Structure 1
Amino acid sequence: MTPKEIVPPLVLAACFLALFGVAELLYHFGKVRAEWTRKIVHTGTGLLTLLFPLVLVSHWQVLFLCGSFLLILLASLRFGWLPSINAIDRLSYGSILFPVIVYALFVVFRMAGKGLIVFYLPILILAVCDPLAALAGKRFPLGRYRICGCGKSASGSAAFFIAAVAVTVIVVDMLGITQSGKRLCLTVPVTATVSEALGIKGMDNLTIPASVATILWLVL
């Protein structure tokens, strides 16, 4: 491998580790609750992954990054590391599913040949809309309902939908998606909102991007 192939994933790995470090500092010294530091890491890692199609040329580089951090996250659950991510009062598979879905989306993006939207839109909806839904549901817990024993709220789902519409419209416009653009601006938010509601125990980290990627594959 050439330096151009080695350096970018190492720089990105350092950025991810720095983000984890900031979350740990906020948790241990800033006394920020794990629910908040977890969301900071969730959004931050999502935004960092937007660089993958721009600076990484091979799926092997992405596999190295995602595989490495999957091992770190699994070890953190086993040995009690990274409480800024793991010290929550519920069972969640979200953190370990995230690197898996990122790698899968990168492979789909490479194979599909349908442009950056196939990678960017699922990641952005997951990184931006999911935390907003959780925050809205906690701040304004209206219309509570349960899916397989896991609590959800109509207010959280509404916040997710509104944010998903905004993200979809912005991404479609910025990437110049004219064909089927209007259809995407409705079908993607609706599908993603249903997927978020059904995604229990952190499974929405899988159901949201997978459903969005499926819609893009079918519509574009």
Structure 2
Amino acid sequence: METNLTHTLYLAGCYLALFSLGELLYHFFKVKAEITRKFVHAGTGILALLFPLLLDNHWWVLLLCASFAVILLCSLRFDMLKSINAIDRKSVGSLAYPVAVYGCYLSYSYQGHQAIYYYLPIMVLAISDPLAALSGKTWPWKPYRIAGATKTVMGSLVFFISAFFIVWVGWRYGNVSHPAAGNVWAFAFIALWATVAEAVSGDGYDNVSIPFTVIISLFLTASWMTI
């Protein structure tokens, strides 16, 4: 228990440092909130990759995620954490993120601690989502509206390619084998549905829909996978 408590406090300190760095970039270096928000988004996911290594029980993850959900909720209520919240659109993304991380850890726990059920959805959320948003804003090629959200073909294409690469590399690293042909189709299936989830989810709900779609897609393609 002491080890879990120590690691939880260590992780909490790392997250506070990440938020502080985001605030420093926003207030002192005048980096736009959309950029600092994506920076914190990616950093949050990268730190979350340490959870299975440092915490051996989902209750500690729940404690950590719930604590930061409360902090983020208070920041919205009292107009704080401008580096995350000073955007010109409605978004529940910051509050949805802790829910997604805890949900992924639960999936990992109940699937016999199979790493892919945690690392793949977290990495796709942490990397593909901000890449898609930034590329879509930088090169707004062929915008489209779906389910009330405005996206771009460029952003969706970048999301798909990066998600496919993440799943491929994650599987290769986790199994130390070259992916078989059937696996490649499974990777494409997972990346495609994660892309669809991102496209149809507005107002920050993609922070939940993306990782949960990856988990569901992993279940659906389990019979395709070979080591």
TM-fit CA distance, 1:111: 0.4
Residues 91-170 of structure 1 mapped to structure 2, 5 A cutoff:
91-113=90-112, 115-170=114-169
Find the aligned partners of 2:46 and 2:114 in 1 and give their Cα distance: 18
State the partner residue of 1:208: 210
- The alpha-carbon deviation at position 210 of structure 1 amounts to 0.7
Distance in 1, Cα, partners of 2:44 & 2:113: 24
- 2:201 is matched with which residue? 199
For structure 1, the residue ranges without an aligned partner over 5 or more in a row are none
Partner in structure 1 of residue 21 of structure 2: 22
Q: 1:198, 1:206 → 2: CA distance?
A: 12
1:190 & 1:139 partners in 2: Cα distance? 22
How far off its partner does 1:108 sit? 1.1
1:4 shift after superposition: 0.9
Name which of structure 1's ranges 175-184 and 51-60 shifts more when overlaid on structure 2: 175-184
Corresponding residue for residue 186 of structure 1: 188
The CA distance in 2 between the partners of 1:95 and 1:103, in whole Å, is 14
Amino acid at match of 1:203: Y
Report if aligned partners of 1:112, 1:217 keep a CA contact under 8 Å in 2.
Answer: no
Whether the 8 Å contact between 1:67 and 1:99 is mirrored in structure 2 is: yes
For residue 144 of structure 2, give the secondary structure of its aligned residue in structure 1.
strand
Q: C-alpha distance in 2, partners of 1:21/1:125?
A: 24
In 2, Cα distance between equivalents of 1:148 and 1:191: 15
TM-score by length of structure 2 reads 0.93
Distance 1:114 1:187 in 2: 23
Q: Quick check: 148-157 or 185-194, which moved more?
A: 148-157
Contact 1:20-1:41 at 8 Å conserved across structures: yes
Corresponding position of 1:4: 3
* 2:97 maps to amino acid: F
Letter in 2 for 1:172: W
Matched-pair contact (CA < 8 Å) for 2:123–2:166: yes
Deviations 1:151-176 (A, max 9, x none): 11011101111111111111010001
Q: Percent identity at matched positions?
A: 47
Distance 2:173 2:186 in 1: 14
Q: Which amino acid aligns with 2:11?
A: L
SS in structure 2 opposite 1:66? helix
1:8-59 per-position Cα deviation (integer Å, ceiling 9, x unaligned): 0000000000000000000000100100000000000000000001110111
Give secondary structure in 2 for the equivalent of 1:76. helix
Shift of 1:183: 3.4
User: What is the CA distance between 1:186 and its match in structure 2?
Assistant: 1.2
Structure 1 residue 49 corresponds to structure 2 residue 51: no
Q: Which runs of 5+ in 2 are unaligned?
A: 223-227
Q: CA deviation at 1:123?
A: 0.4
Shift of 1:104: 1.0
1: distance between equivalents of 2:46 and 2:127? 9
Within the alignment, does 1:82 sit opposite 2:81 as a pair?
yes
Backbone CA RMSD of aligned residues: 1.3
TM-score normalised over the length of structure 1? 0.96
Residue aligning to 1:218: 220
Moved over 4 A (4+): 177-180
